[in-house]
């Protein structure tokens, strides 16, 4: 009969045990929160700028043109890159569709399109900040 035994004695020494260090934990939390805040600031600025632009009659067509071109840029990036094809296509079609809706239905759809763009900006900056 083959039997296997498990060695129950601990081989870890006092040097191997990790001690919780409050200053190290606080430092890591500060670094992570500053990365998130640094990525969220431009994303929130995009949404706020779109919300301010829909209040102005003259800035509405400019915002719609920016959204149209951004939607086509996302579609071009989907064709050009191999990594995130599906998400780029869906984002490009959503941004372009919301630009059409903001032109024909209500200008407030532009804020939703800006939120999609802001999500991509947030994710890109957060990925670069690693």
Instruction: Please give the structure tokens belonging to residue 101.
Output: 């809706």
How many structural domains are present in the chain?
Answer: 1
Please provide the average confidence, as pLDDT, over all residues in the chain.
85
Which DSSP state fits 22? H
Contacts of 47 (CB under 8 A, 6+ apart): 111, 114, 115, 118
> Distance between CA 70 and CA 96 in Å, rounded?
8
Name the band, by pLDDT with cuts 50, 70 and 90, for residue 100: very high
Angle at 36 between CA 123 and CA 23, to 5 degrees: 140
The domain in which residue 63 lies consists of 59-130
| Residue 71 included in any domain | yes
8-48 tens-digit pLDDT: 666 666 566 666 778 888 888 898 899 899 889 999 999 99
| Residue 17 included in any domain | no
Q: Over pLDDT 70: what percentage of the chain?
A: 86
62-79 tens-digit pLDDT: 888 999 999 999 999 888
């Amino acid at each position: 009969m083959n039997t296997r035994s498990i060695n129950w004695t601990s081989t870890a020494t006092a040097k191997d045990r990790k001690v919780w260090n409050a200053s190290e934990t606080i430092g890591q939390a500060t670094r992570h929160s500053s990365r998130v805040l640094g990525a969220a600031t431009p994303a929130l600025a995009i949404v706020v700028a779109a919300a301010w632009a829909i209040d102005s009659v003259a800035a509405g067509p400019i915002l719609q043109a920016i959204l149209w071109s951004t939607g086509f840029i996302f579609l071009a990036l989907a064709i050009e890159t191999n990594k995130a094809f599906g998400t780029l296509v869906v984002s490009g079609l959503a941004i372009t569709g919301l630009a059409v809706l903001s032109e024909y239905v209500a200008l407030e759809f532009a804020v939703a399109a800006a939120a999609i763009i802001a999500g991509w900006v947030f994710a890109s900056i957060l990925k670069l900040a690693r």
